[in-house]
Amino acid sequence: MPLDHRLTPEHEELRRTVEAFAHDVVAPKIGDLYERHEFPYEIVREMGRMGLFGLPFPEEYGGMGGDYLALGIALEELARVDSSVAITLEAGVSLGAMPLYLFGTEEQKREWLPKLCAGEVLGAFGLTEPGAGSDAGGTRTTAVRDGDEWVINGSKCFITNSGTDITGLVTVTAVTGRKADGRPEISSIIVPSGTPGFTVAAPYSKVGWNSSDTRELSFDEVRVPVANLVGQEGRGYAQFLRILDEGRIAIAALATGLAQGCVDESVKYAKERQAFGKAIGDNQAIQFKLADMETRAHMARLGWRDAASRLVAGEPFKKEAAIAKLYSSTVAVDNARDATQIHGGYGFMNEYPVARMWRDSKILEIGEGTSEVQRMLIARELGFAG
């Protein structure tokens, strides 16, 4: 089926709205917040009022009644200016709210989704551990049923949106039993913030995404109701694989935005920067570098929109999502490197957005499935055993 990459009038209106917000609201503030490693609460509140956290959810749960393409459009436009803000939205929707929407009970949806869609509360998903991420068999966190409660013990690492002042819950994967062959049965369980025994560590000191909240979590005899189980017992990891498939489209859109932002900043700089009596953009070497950067961003955009269109249409999209994530994350790193080179010494100064983009780009080849994992998934879809 050929892809019509053109946006509908509604999607184009959304794109323009978020573009203006990113340039008028995010851009003037985020540099100082980033250098101080501060979470952008005011920006997040405004995003909530705009309905961005509710984009792909039905109106009956407080959402905007949009789709995953709409979410990707918003993420791309935000990431053209800043990735910390974009990943806060991506994680809040794809990891915080989407598991409840896809697998939660009606009671869980009614309790949590309106607040999550409004941006009043952020949700997080606790999957990764020091010895377990893609390797589900390495999960050490346990949840043992005691009457009408789960008792959770263990730890998680690299969890986004898990320790802000407005974080309301973390959905945690934990071993709740063993299969006949000895492999762990993993379930997903909601742990509200502030639950006794649930400890959130100080924020990590990171290379990039410095205005995004990322923390280590620990669970010491944490008790929550049995009703906090999300979906089927023992199906937690399988459910999260579905979440990751969709999330890769969102990360691809974010990566595309960063790649395009590098083009935006570099074109502007190349027209303004004078060397040897002329703008550096008059040099063919710079023009060719910019042409390559624009080509990469354009192709990455087609990739994530194709995957999103397949998801929205109810068609298989696993391979296309992996391709989009693999390619766009590579493109983001390549464009950030070239943008820094075009800016020269100024590209190494944090006052310039490309320095922030360079610091933010590398994690895109790691988070929500490394580039190696994407290649593995693509090869499997081609018929090769893992």
Domain extents in the chain: 9-122, 123-233, 238-381
Tens-digit pLDDT string for the chain (386 aa): 445 678 999 999 999 999 999 999 999 999 999 999 999 999 999 999 999 999 999 999 999 999 999 999 999 999 999 999 999 999 999 999 999 999 999 999 999 999 999 999 999 999 999 888 777 678 999 999 999 999 999 999 999 999 999 999 999 999 999 988 888 999 999 999 999 999 999 999 999 999 999 999 999 999 999 999 999 999 998 898 899 999 999 999 999 999 999 999 999 999 999 999 999 999 999 999 999 999 999 999 999 999 999 999 999 999 999 999 999 999 999 999 999 999 999 999 998 999 999 999 999 999 999 999 999 999 999 999 86
Residue 247 buriedness (CB in 10 A; 0-12 / 13-18 / 19+): buried
Distance CA 310, CA 305 (A): 9
Residues 6 or more apart whose Cβ sits within 8 Å of residue 304: 72, 76, 249, 252, 253, 256, 324, 328
Residue 3 pLDDT: 57
Q: Is the fold of 123-233 the same as that of 238-381? A: no
- Amino acid at site 377: L
Q: Residue 108: its pLDDT value, please? A: 98
Which CATH code for domain 9-122? 1.10.540.10
169, 112 in Cβ contact below 8 A?
yes
Q: What torsion do the CA atoms of 173, 176, 177, 178 make, to the nearest 10 degrees?
A: 10
HEC profile of 6-31: CCCHHHHHHHHHHHHHHHHHHHHHHH
Burial of residue 82 (CB within 10 Å: 0-12, 13-18, 19+) is buried
Tokens 């999502």, residue located:
321
Give the per-residue pLDDT at 2: 44
Would you state the CATH architecture of domain 123-233?
Beta Barrel (2.40)
Q: How far is CA 338 from CA 81, 327, 332, 360, in A?
A: 17, 16, 10, 14
Can you give the length of the chain in residues? 386
Domain 238-381, CATH among 3.40.50.150, 1.10.150.120, 1.10.3720.10, 1.20.140.10 = 1.20.140.10
Task: Write down the pTM of the prediction.
Answer: 0.96
Catalytic residues: 368
Alpha carbons 43 and 35: distance in angstroms, whole number: 16
List Cα–Cα distances, 345 to 68, 122, 352, 353, in angstroms. Answer: 39, 38, 10, 13
